[in-house]
Amino acid sequence: MAVSRNALHIALMPGDGIGTEVTEVCVGVLEPLARRHGLGLSFETLRAGAFAYRDTGTAMDEATFARAEKADAILLGAMGWPGIRYPDGTEIAPQLDLRFRLGLYAGLRPIRALPGVPLALADPRAAQIDLVILRESTEGLFAARGRGEIIDDREARDTMVITRATTERLSEFAFNLARRRAARRGRPGVVTLVDKANVFTGFAFMRRVFDEVAQRHPDLVASHHYIDAMALDLIRRPWDFDVLPTENMFGDILSDLGAGLVGGMGFAPSADIGDNHAVFQPSHGTAPDIAGKGLANPTAMLLSAALMLDWLGERGGGQAWSDAAAELEGAVDAAFAGGLRTPDIGGKAGTVETGRAVIDKIGASRT
């Protein structure tokens, strides 16, 4: 699916809990933004998630999946709910099914300090945090999902899978991303594979394949870090890192750590990208503790939508889409720099008010 038309079709999957609240606000921001940039953008809302499962017995039916698959991009809120589970006790998570079924191997998790948002680290260099965790999202330890075994109630096994094909694609993606970022940021791109190659055969293999791909990108710096050392260094000196490709489970954990560095889950966007499809969603869950109260911070959702516009632009949508992406990101930054404070960082601006503050900045930056 190469994007070439002017009018692009977005499958909206609001999901459950605060997913529905941040999705609504996000559409409210995207519509005026699209008008300003002359972007043809149409939305189709699709129902999937824990409450869909409760009401219909299916978390995401095949017709819904087919609609999502046909769309130019999928914009997803959040899915899952504590009291609603599959009979075996596992979570309702159709977003994971989308990753596997659509082959969305590159899980982009940007971690960036926004101006004015309080940071976890006191070191002033924390204001320069701007890195991307690139979480492989189709294999690794998550390949065991639904396939783990318990042997005679004595032991349990979950098998990690690392393939050459996916590691090559992930590594290529990482280097290309670092090259784009380097051009934008005016500094050399550095790709750091995060692994545990000193202990596991799978990670030693992953490192070998990554090193092979690195040979094809001599203009970029390639390095490695063990996962335990990275957990330490993401606290000690996160401002030193750029693009961090890693295995699925490691990426899952590190992206929450990264979100904690820059204000919490409400500030952590994500994109799950494959060769033909992509899903954009905030890194956070459905936050049952604040759902229905209008308190959710929609920033992660808005920044995920900016990633979507940028991806659509890159895939042939054209410069207007990339410009709209940059403007949306800039408007979010400007709103927080101007004093916007959401409840998760001790402020009072609720979901709708935050959306309005961002729309105001979009207008301001276009005058």
Residue ranges that bind ligand ATP, judged by CB under 6 A: 18, 80, 265-266, 284-287, 289-290, 296-297, 300, 344
* Residue 98 beta carbon to ligand ATP: minimum distance, rounded to whole angstroms: 14
Q: Which amino acid belongs to residue 348?
A: K
Q: Which is nearer to ligand ATP, 167 or 342 (CB)?
A: 342
When the beta carbons of 298 and 317 are compared against ligand ATP, the nearer one is: 298
Q: How far is the CB of 300 from ligand ATP (least distance, A)?
A: 6
> Rounded to a whole number, what is the distance in angstroms from the first to the last CA of the chain?
35
Q: 3-class secondary structure for 139-191?
A: CEHHHHCCCCEEECCCEEECCCECCHHHHHHHHHHHHHHHHHHHHHHCCCCEE
Q: CB of 79: closest distance to ligand ATP in angstroms?
A: 8
Query: 22 vs 177, which CB is nearer to ligand ATP?
Result: 22
Q: In angstroms, rounded to a whole number, what is the distance separating the alpha carbons of residues 322 and 297?
A: 24
Cβ atoms of residues 355 and 343 within 8 Å: no
Smallest gap from Cβ 363 to ligand ATP, in A, equals 24
Closest-by-Cβ residue to ligand ATP is 285
CB 51 to ligand ATP: min, Å? 14
Residue with tokens 């904690």: 260
Report the residue number, 17 or 313, with the smaller CB distance to ligand ATP.
17
Instruction: Give the pairing of strands 243-246 and 190-195.
Output: parallel
Please identify, using beta-carbon distances, which residue of 192 and 255 lies nearer to ligand ATP.
255
Nearest partner of 358 among 317, 323, 330, 316, judged by Cα: 330
Between residues 265 and 325, which has the closer beta carbon with respect to ligand ATP? 265
Q: How far apart are CA 240 and CA 2, in angstroms?
A: 35
Rounded Cα distance between 290 and 148, Å, is 33
Residue 189 or 266: which CB sits closer to ligand ATP?
Answer: 266
CB-based burial label for 184 (10 Å; 0-12, 13-18, 19+): exposed
Q: What are residue 75's DSSP bridge partners?
A: 12, 280
Both tokens of residue 74? Answer: 């999928």
Q: Considering the complex, what minimum distance in angstroms separates the CB of residue 275 from ligand ATP?
A: 26
**Cβ atoms of residues 249 and 96 within 8 Å:** no
Q: Give the nearest distance from C-beta 289 to ligand ATP in angstroms.
A: 5
